[in-house]
Amino acid sequence: MGRVFGFLSVIIVLGVGMYIYSRQAQSSSAAAGTNSPKAAINVTGVRTDLMTIAQAERGYFALEGKYGSLDDLISSKSLTMQRERPPYSYEVEASSSGFRVVATRSGPDDGSGSPAEISVDQDMQFSTSQ
């Protein structure tokens, strides 16, 4: 009897865990502004990449006294990462007073609700556009 009760307890705990996981996956998709967990993971990765590039831009400014292009960041070894995370590609818009790191989706929306553009500026403020 004790083994049956233990087995049923494990099954119930696994069921509750799977339910909680599925609810979190749905809520993280909605929080990322997407319709699917896969798209939410991709958008989260893009946002992380943008933060990495923005941090590199701040470091570059501290060393050089100016903001640089994506090529400047890579050639100075301030940044060691890819220029894209498909279907997004990255670019930096730098001026004397600030910068904006932009991830642009190539191609039309695949139905996942992924934003067409995600960006972060020198104040670490994110913005998206459909």
Share of the chain above pLDDT 70, in %: 85
Both tokens of 15, joined, read: 């069921």
Cα–Cα distance for residue pair 58/61, rounded to 1 Å: 5
| Residues forming a β-bridge with 127 | 119
pLDDT digits (tens, 9 = 90+) for 52-80: 999 999 999 999 999 999 999 999 999 99
Count of other CB atoms within 10 angstroms of residue 102 = 19
pLDDT digits (tens, 9 = 90+) for 31-54: 455 567 778 888 899 999 999 999
Quickly state the pLDDT bin for 95 (edges 50, 70, 90): very high
Residue 22's pLDDT is what?
A: 66
SS3 34: coil
Out of 22-26, 90-94, 111-115, 116-120, which region has the weakest mean confidence (pLDDT)? 22-26
Average the pLDDT over 17-28 and give the result: 63
Average the pLDDT over 70-98 and give the result: 92
